[in-house]
Amino acid sequence: MNLVLFDLDNTLLAGDSDYEWGQFLIAKGVVDGPHYEARNKAFYEDYKAGRLDIYAFLAFALHPLATHSRAQLDAWHAEYMDTRIRPMITQAARELVKRHLGEADLVAIITATNSFVTGPIAKEFGVPHLIATDPEEVDGRFTGEVAGTPCFREGKVIRLEHFLKDHGTRLDGLGSSWFYSDSHNDLPLLELVQHPVAVDPDPALKARALEKGWPVISLRDS
């Protein structure tokens, strides 16, 4: 069995879906603009610097999901897909995903961003499996809490192990395994797959990729 994994933000997307969802909510007037934007930017900088407190971030990011109905959230998400996400999808990213979908047994997007935000994005790419941070849901409404292990850093490895177990295999039992990512936050998983690929990498990941001899590619159309 062959496995291909894609990170989402700044890898398949030329931008960050979590950050852009926050900016979208600000633009819609759903959240307090100046305060929310300052915290959103601060968390994003923490993520890029490798010092993100994932639970503090999730408490912030999942709160708006708990304060609105699913119908309203879905309507906003459809607009967000049109205005924020589709413009961040390059032809090169679509072609790479399409090629692997035709070759691999298992293809998944694995992302720290929550599954409410990323589920429709995975469908846009035609990727059948999504491994993401799951927001807790009770009686059809989000609670603002996280369910299970956040899919971040070492948590991606844990979540992948559960995913593979559900498919009757293990990472060390695969014929081949690939992981495409832009971020040094994904090094715990990149170090485990047979074929790690750095995609438009941040400086820390680029340095490690060059040290290890990993491929470095770009999915930006320019």
The tens digit of pLDDT for each residue in 91-104 reads 999 999 999 999 99
Reported CATH class of domain 2-217? alpha beta
> d(Cα 5, Cα 106) in Å, to the nearest integer?
8
Confirm whether 186 is a catalytic residue: no
Q: Is 12 left (phi over 0), alpha (psi -120 to 50) or beta?
A: alpha
The whole-number pLDDT of residue 33 equals 83
Q: Pick the catalytic residue from 7, 18, 182, 186.
A: 7
What ranges do the domains of the chain cover?
2-217
> d(Cα 97, Cα 197) in Å, to the nearest integer?
14
Answer yes or no: pTM beyond 0.85. yes
The whole-number pLDDT of residue 222 equals 58
State how far the alpha carbon of 163 is from the alpha carbons of 18, 35, 173, in Å. Answer: 23, 37, 14
Both structure tokens of 43: 């968390």
Residues of 149-164 as b/e, b for ≥16 C-beta within 10 angstroms? bbbbbebbbebbeebb
The tens digit of pLDDT for each residue in 34-55 reads 999 999 999 999 999 999 999 9
> d(Cα 110, Cα 127) in Å, to the nearest integer?
11
Confirm whether 7 is a catalytic residue: yes
The tens digit of pLDDT for each residue in 133-174 reads 999 999 999 999 999 999 999 999 999 999 999 999 999 999
